[in-house]
Structure 1
């Protein structure tokens, strides 16, 4: 028997989409075949992916909640109450020792008639009786079949560095599906930001019948960087300067993902002062690129040479500056 999709994702039936997505991400990471080499991990990963495919799609989830494991077999316009009635009759027929068969009767819902011992209660016969021998929508029951169900959209995360987000990059992704894993070569455009979704049409779940496949959405995650901190399209970086550079001012070089750039340090600068380099953040194909903010960090030599010590002593003698009061 197929496992309950809510049980597979370990979420309650009333879970909201965000809870379902969080549960899927957690379980998919734990059971991905590239990470988990334990026996059965790949099968669990497939079950998790299937459960997420259904519960993340509002229409499929509605049908699953209404019809359970049969949600793919039931015609799209079937009334859930009639369906539950048919299932009840099926159970009654089975409990009668398989000697009863559902057949259309004079009433709107038909009735049980005598049948040969050994007759099974057939799903199509049941629905045919409920709908007066005709499929909802007016076609004869003989032509009934599950309507085309569009493929569900899938979602996967892709991690890139700050430099890759700035310049663009390519990735080869392995996606698990009902026919086994498949590899996609994907171009990540320059200027993506953390949380941005990239749509790959027709690369999601396969539809049934003549329905098309769903889409695959790649969610970009920018990894932590030892130098840059990312806020949207803006980048933040620490810029070490010597005491005399901070005191006297001047132009200094700062590294950016696009290469070195010169920034002017105003005279009398202190640590934590931020200098903006406009347009040096992440690019934007539809508008203004982000900025890079260089935060000054005044650094002292770890050891002073004799001449350096003498000059600092002279500065201390002639200067009236009080660092505690700022005057």
Structure 2
């Protein structure tokens, strides 16, 4: 998808306060509204009208604007754009409302960035005689694979967008201690009661829901509760078989490598994946590592094998 410069669409600076955003939107809506643009230029005006509406949907809402600013600082209009993974880590939001415009009219850029927020519960007024629960908040946290295996607790820094007295969007950082349950997987949510938006009147505060993501690990790949890891072995271990000690996220295990093992073969360790009612499995994926030939002795050994072994690795390719 292509990056859209919403500030350019509305003709305002990135530092513009919210009131300037609103004024620019109202001016452009009147200019490009279909009711005042009949005739040959109607299609172009309608396209502009939709662009203005899409830009306002984001910039009028402090949460969406803060997220957009975080992503868009180094991009230009029309550039190929893809949000980096976990760009919204620690970004706290309560849903972000829509205006009277239909969000389905907007393009893939809008949908890609803000689809997961969805519509919030209706905003409740500030009447002190009225009681209503606060809105729930949402954020994404990234944990290590070890934390997924063992659980535990630690502090996470979250950033909540809000308006300062001058009408500018700022990020308020705050730390929260989270208990991570043993066996949590990517995509699951941890509920922190009472840490969402404040209630109205005597209403209780909303809850905070933390979406869990397991951090990428050079040594491991996670699929659901199953964990995959590369297992480097020597050519002689692959040919003759061996018993080795293998460090895993749940501790060291003894593993038998079968004779004639080939690169890519998966050795399954049942129940050694992420714990749970139905624990996942750990798969050790064999990767044969060829010793270097920097010494004369090593080269002599390879040459001896080439002479004495009747072996053609490409014999099955046909031709």
Cα separation, 2, equivalents of 1:315 and 1:236: 33
CA contact (8 A) 1:24 1:52 kept: no
Cα separation, 2, equivalents of 1:50 and 1:247: 56
Partner of 2:280: 290
Per the alignment, do residues 280 and 223 of structure 1 end up closer, same or farther by CA in structure 2, a change over 3 Å counting? same
CA contact (8 A) 1:177 1:205 kept: no
Partner of 2:121: 60
- In structure 2, stretches of 5+ residues that fail to align are 1-16, 26-51, 73-90, 99-116, 163-171
Partner of 2:8: none
Cα separation, 2, equivalents of 1:320 and 1:50: 66
Aligned residues: 224
Cα distance per residue 1:267-324 (max 9 Å; x no partner): 111111111111111111xx12111111111111112655555554444344322210
Cα separation, 2, equivalents of 1:314 and 1:181: 65
Cα separation, 2, equivalents of 1:25 and 1:192: 29
CA contact (8 A) 1:206 1:212 kept: yes
CA contact (8 A) 1:53 1:154 kept: no
Q: 2:140 aligns with which of 157, 166, 187?
A: 157
Higher relative contact order (CA 8 A, sep 6+): 2
Partner of 2:253: 261
Structure-to-structure mapping, 1:185-264, within 5 angstroms: 185-264=177-256
Cα distance per residue 1:151-170 (max 9 Å; x no partner): 11101111111112212232
CA contact (8 A) 1:204 1:215 kept: yes
CA contact (8 A) 1:236 1:295 kept: yes
Cα separation, 2, equivalents of 1:224 and 1:271: 23
TM-score (norm 2): 0.58
State the Cα RMSD in Å: 4.0
Partner of 1:92: none
* 1:325 shift after superposition: 2.0
Partner-residue secondary structure (3-state), 1:260: strand
Partner of 1:26: 67
- In structure 1, stretches of 5+ residues that fail to align are 32-47, 65-70, 75-144
TM-score (norm 1): 0.57
CA contact (8 A) 1:254 1:262 kept: yes
* 1:181 shift after superposition: 6.0
